[in-house]
Structure 1
Amino acid sequence: MKSKLLCGMVLFMVSATTMAQQSFNTPDLATDALASAIREQNESAMNNLLGDNWRDFLPPEGVEPDAVDRFLRDWKVRHNTIIEGDTAHLVVGNSDWQLPIPVVKTAAGWQFDIKEGAEAILTREIGRNELAAIEALHAYVDAQERYYALTTHYAQKIVSSEGKKDGLYWPVQPGEAPSPLGPAFSPKKPGQGYHGYHFRILPDSQSGFAMIAWPVSYGETGVMSFMINGDDRVWQANLGEKSAEEANAIPTFNPDDRWQQVAQ
């Protein structure tokens, strides 16, 4: 609970909006109160700052477990509240990481406004998911190469059949060598995806294998779709609202004019 509560507050991966209840005479007092609530693990203070239902907006999969420590370290290094008119933003650390939730001036005083920060929050979450999808595709290429070293052919499926090693992942017993790929590409809950993306193996006559990735929910968990083959170069395209339908209709790795290569 501690990890989900506090890490969620630091990264603020919310998908809906709510307005904080507590107000302050200055934005610095508001941001100081937030840092204290995070440092002291004070759930009551969090409720006062962001509203009683802020936990409802956290993603079910949680976030990075070291996010709280990183935020508090950056806060100690440097923190500043930048005011522009009736809006203020907290920045921390040498890299000036900006809290996506602004503090806004209202008739009652300065308050955290999750509604105003919703777009920035969503953009950051999508960006993280897209980077994770690209990293996962590179991991897939490495896994296929390891599988080929074991079998002299490439795998045609991500998860092996029960009791077999005909895919890139299979469960192992203690002391056994791990499978070429971990289980994350095939989540326990159907439709859940991995960091907001679905993955499917594609055939490729030139390199021997390929894969395509597309958002679980277009515009919410991701925007771009991605492809990779044995050359380990990633291609991207915005397939729009019908990303899932478009991605599943692609029979082989053959990027058309919609696809552009991602800079390495």
Structure 2
Amino acid sequence: MKNKLLSGIVLFMMSVTAMAQQSFSTPGQATDALVSAIGTQNETAMSNLLGENWRDFLPPEGVDPDAVDRFLRDWKVRHDTVVDGETAHLVVGDSSWQLPIPAIKTASGWQFDIQQAAEEIQTREIGRNELAAIEALHAYVDAQQSYYAMNQKYAQKIVSSAGKKDGLYWPAEPGEAPSPLGPAFSPKEPGTGYHGYRFRILPDSNGFAMVAWPVSYGQTGVMSFMINQDDKVYQTNFGSDSEQKAQALTAYHLDKSWQPVAP
């Protein structure tokens, strides 16, 4: 019985040790270790540095591989660990881009606190999603112009009916020219949207229009956007009713709540 109890205590201690985050004597050692883990895609090292639940703090679709490549390239160009009291941040590249995850000084040394980064990570993700939505609306205008050149009319739907080319996107056969709009507007999982946004074509007597709104207000985006054939994007904050208000629009119409987005 005694041996079983001791074995249980040992296993518990081993579990606690495995779950403890790695600490370093200097913040620079901590940031160097994190860059090494990112560069080698070492999941175990990432868990040791950030905690076993670190993925819970990332965007639902994960981190863009291109963004990781840019970060590693910028780190090689220039990097510095900026210390402010008991908090330190890694900055990289000529533009001094700051990693949102801080290293903090604890009793055991410097370690990362990804919980402190949660709000900043979400804020940055919302910003990226909103920029992607704006770019997608400009792509929609280009696609409608291409569709009109082929059909002498504007498309009334985003995704074509099965076996037809009555929308802006259709699966291209081998050797066939691609559709005016790419497959990003046709997500594999219905309802997931594109970079946190959903899109709908709006009637417009002068041509064509589209509205975009966040899949989850405050989580994947804040602003809703609208565009027509003039290729100018306008934005408004529909609040928590973004889905209902965007779906309720019956035509392209700008009231005083819609403001132009700076080009």
TM-score by length of 2: 0.89
- Matched-pair contact (CA < 8 Å) for 2:59–2:125: no
Deviation at 1:70, TM superposition (A): 2.1
The equivalences for 1:183-222 within 5 A come to: 183-206=183-206, 208-222=207-221
Aligned equivalent of 1:122: 122
**In the alignment, residue 219 of structure 2 is paired with which amino acid?**
E
Alignment coverage as a number of residue pairs:
245
2: CA distance, partners of 1:179 / 1:151: 13
Bigger relative contact order, structure 1 or 2 (CA pairs below 8 A, ≥6 apart): 1
**In the alignment, residue 162 of structure 2 is paired with which amino acid?**
E
Taking only the aligned residue pairs, the percentage that are identical comes to 75
Q: Are 2:249 and 1:236 equivalent residues in the alignment?
A: no
Structure 1 pair 42–171 and aligned structure 2 pair: CA distance change class (3 A)? closer
Structure 1 pair 152–76 and aligned structure 2 pair: CA distance change class (3 A)? same
Aligned equivalent of 2:247: 248
What SS does structure 2 have at the residue aligned with 1:66? helix
2: CA distance, partners of 1:39 / 1:123: 24
What SS does structure 2 have at the residue aligned with 1:236? strand
Deviation at 1:20, TM superposition (A): 7.5
- Matched-pair contact (CA < 8 Å) for 2:58–2:121: no
- Matched-pair contact (CA < 8 Å) for 2:59–2:122: no
Per-residue deviation, residues 175-218 of structure 1 (Å, max 9, x unmatched): 11111111211212121000000000001112x10000000000
Give ranges in structure 1 of 5+ residues lacking alignment.
Answer: 1-18
**In the alignment, residue 173 of structure 1 is paired with which amino acid?**
E
TM-score by length of 1: 0.89
Per-residue deviation, residues 194-244 of structure 1 (Å, max 9, x unmatched): 0000000001112x1000000000001000000000000000001000100
- Matched-pair contact (CA < 8 Å) for 2:129–2:195: yes
Aligned equivalent of 1:165: 165
Structure 1 pair 20–123 and aligned structure 2 pair: CA distance change class (3 A)? farther
Aligned equivalent of 1:55: 55
Moved more, 146-155 or 38-47: 38-47
The equivalences for 1:133-172 within 5 A come to: 133-172=133-172
1: CA distance, partners of 2:96 / 2:190: 39
What SS does structure 1 have at the residue aligned with 2:65? coil
Per-residue deviation, residues 97-118 of structure 1 (Å, max 9, x unmatched): 1000111112222111111111
2: CA distance, partners of 1:67 / 1:263: 24
- Matched-pair contact (CA < 8 Å) for 1:20–1:112: no
**In the alignment, residue 244 of structure 2 is paired with which amino acid?**
E
Deviation at 1:45, TM superposition (A): 1.4
Structure 1 pair 144–138 and aligned structure 2 pair: CA distance change class (3 A)? same
CA RMSD of aligned residues (A): 1.5
**In the alignment, residue 175 of structure 1 is paired with which amino acid?**
G
2: CA distance, partners of 1:182 / 1:98: 33
Deviation at 1:53, TM superposition (A): 2.4
Deviation at 1:87, TM superposition (A): 1.0
Displaced runs of 4 or more, over 6 A: none
Give ranges in structure 2 of 5+ residues lacking alignment.
Answer: 1-18
2: CA distance, partners of 1:49 / 1:20: 9
Aligned equivalent of 1:262: 261
Aligned equivalent of 2:69: 69
Structure 1 pair 214–259 and aligned structure 2 pair: CA distance change class (3 A)? same
Per-residue deviation, residues 105-159 of structure 1 (Å, max 9, x unmatched): 1222211111111111111000000000000000000000000001111010001
